[in-house]
């Protein structure tokens, strides 16, 4: 039944092929195995329910049947489409933010490097994994998980970061396959434009916490406090530290600081 519904939503998209599974452990695992065989560029794996989804830093991504959306796109290097690995996570996040705005009128922002927020709360996570054969990069998989229905939001006590759903933002239920279609449209539109200046401009335009103070951590050094300035050409997060110097965060995560800190540090909201 769900496969038939997907036919309706996806049939006229420029996808080479796609596979639907009623239940899987992880769509990324399915996609990686397919990539190791014969999956073409932009092939899609969709799950009705994902039981062992995962995020960055070994975290889990909880998926709720009929309320969560879990899918993975396969990306291969080819002569027609550039393959800057460092921009693949942003490709997924930008596709989601633009789909929310264009399809549903919902503003969303990218919490560097791999989450999408609505009103400061997490609604989507992206996990990119690379596939190698000896020293040759075969491709990558871009896994995307979205809280579509209210039931997809886990209990607050079990959350690493405050969460929400697209349904909460809209105030009414939404067909998750329509959400999938909208995201895929945006993803495919940007797929061949990853090295265009417009891609970086769109990524920076949707960046969360610009002009705000955050705590940043790379897991190796003591956490830093800085104000988000934007992105470097490499996609690193540019922070203005308290002493006025600039620091570029190449990996890690950020968390916004409360308003009293921003006021005491002379920070101004963007």
Q: What is the rounded distance in angstroms from the CA atom of residue 34 to the CA atom of residue 116?
A: 27
176 with 221, same domain: the answer is no
Q: What is the CATH number of the domain that holds 222?
A: 2.30.30.100
Max avg pLDDT among 19-23, 56-60, 256-260: 19-23
Is pLDDT at 8 greater than 90 in this prediction?
no
**pLDDT, mean of residues 122-146:** 94
Boundary residue ending a domain (164, 183, 205): 205
Is residue 102 domain-resident? Answer: yes
Strand order in the sheet with 68-75: 18-24, 44-50, 68-75, 136-147, 121-133, 115-118, 109-111
Boundary residue ending a domain (205, 221, 250): 205
**Mind listing the pLDDT tens digit for each residue in 200-232?**
999 999 999 999 999 999 877 889 999 999 999
Query: Considering only CA atoms, which of 136, 163, 135, 156 is closest in space to residue 68?
Result: 163
Range of the domain at 259: 213-264
Q: Where are the alpha helices (DSSP H) in 12-115?
A: 27-37, 88-104
Is residue 14 classed exposed, middle or buried when 0-12, 13-18 and 19+ CB atoms within 10 A define those classes? exposed
96 with 187, same domain: the answer is yes
- Give CA angle at 86 (186, 124), nearest 5°: 50
**Mind listing the pLDDT tens digit for each residue in 148-199?**
999 999 887 767 789 999 999 999 999 999 999 999 999 999 999 999 999 9
30 with 109, same domain: the answer is yes
Is residue 125 domain-resident? Answer: yes
168 with 221, same domain: the answer is no
pLDDT on residue 160? 77
Q: What is the rounded distance in angstroms from the CA atom of residue 101 to the CA atom of residue 91?
A: 16
**Mind listing the pLDDT tens digit for each residue in 28-86?**
999 999 999 999 999 999 999 888 766 555 556 666 778 999 999 999 987 677 789 99
pLDDT on residue 265? 56
193 with 229, same domain: the answer is no
Q: Global pTM?
A: 0.91
Query: Considering only CA atoms, which of 263, 223, 270, 229 is closest in space to residue 246?
Result: 229
218 with 130, same domain: the answer is no
pLDDT on residue 110? 98
Q: What is the CB neighbour count within 10 angstroms for residue 83?
A: 16
Number of structural domains the chain divides into: 2
| 33 three-state secondary structure | helix
Q: What is the CATH number of the domain that holds 65?
A: 3.30.930.10
Boundary residue ending a domain (168, 186, 205): 205
Query: Considering only CA atoms, which of 55, 63, 60 is closest in space to residue 21?
Result: 63
DSSP state of 209: T
Is residue 269 domain-resident? Answer: no
227 with 183, same domain: the answer is no
201 with 218, same domain: the answer is no
pLDDT on residue 7? 86
Q: Which letter, b or e, does each residue of 186-221 get, where b requires 16 or more Cβ atoms within 10 Å of its Cβ? A: bbeebbeebeeeebbebbbebbbbbebbbebbeeee
Residues for the chain: how many in total?
A: 270
226 with 169, same domain: the answer is no
pLDDT on residue 3? 72
234 with 168, same domain: the answer is no
- List for the chain the helix, strand, coil content (%; round to 5): 30, 30, 35
């Amino acid at each position: 039944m769900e496969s038939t519904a997907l036919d309706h939503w996806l049939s006229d998209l420029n996808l080479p092929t796609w596979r639907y599974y009623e239940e899987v452990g992880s769509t990324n695992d399915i996609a990686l195995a397919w990539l190791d065989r014969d999956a073409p560029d932009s092939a899609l794996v969709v799950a009705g329910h994902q039981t062992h989804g995962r995020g960055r830093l070994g975290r889990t991504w909880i998926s709720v049947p009929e309320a969560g959306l879990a899918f993975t796109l396969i990306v291969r290097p080819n002569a027609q489409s550039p393959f800057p690995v460092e921009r693949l996570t942003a490709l997924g996040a930008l596709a989601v933010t633009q789909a929310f705005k264009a399809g549903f009128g919902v503003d969303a922002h990218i919490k560097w490097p791999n989450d999408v927020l609505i009103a400061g709360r997490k609604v989507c996570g992206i996990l990119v994994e690379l596939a190698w054969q000896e020293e040759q990069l075969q491709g990558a998989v871009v896994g995307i998980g979205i809280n579509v229905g209210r039931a997809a939001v886990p209990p607050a006590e079990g959350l690493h970061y405050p969460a929400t759903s697209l349904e909460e933002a809209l105030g009414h239920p939404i067909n998750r396959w329509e959400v999938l279609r909208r995201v895929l449209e945006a993803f495919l539109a940007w797929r061949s434009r990853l090295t265009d200046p417009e891609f970086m401009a769109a990524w920076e335009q949707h960046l969360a916490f610009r002009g705000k103070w955050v705590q940043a951590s790379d897991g190796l050094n003591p956490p830093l406090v800085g104000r988000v300035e934007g992105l470097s050409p490499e996609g690193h997060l540019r922070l203005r530290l308290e002493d006025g110097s600039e620091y570029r965060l190449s990996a890690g995560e950020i968390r916004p600081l409360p308003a009293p800190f921003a006021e005491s540090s002379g920070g101004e909201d963007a």
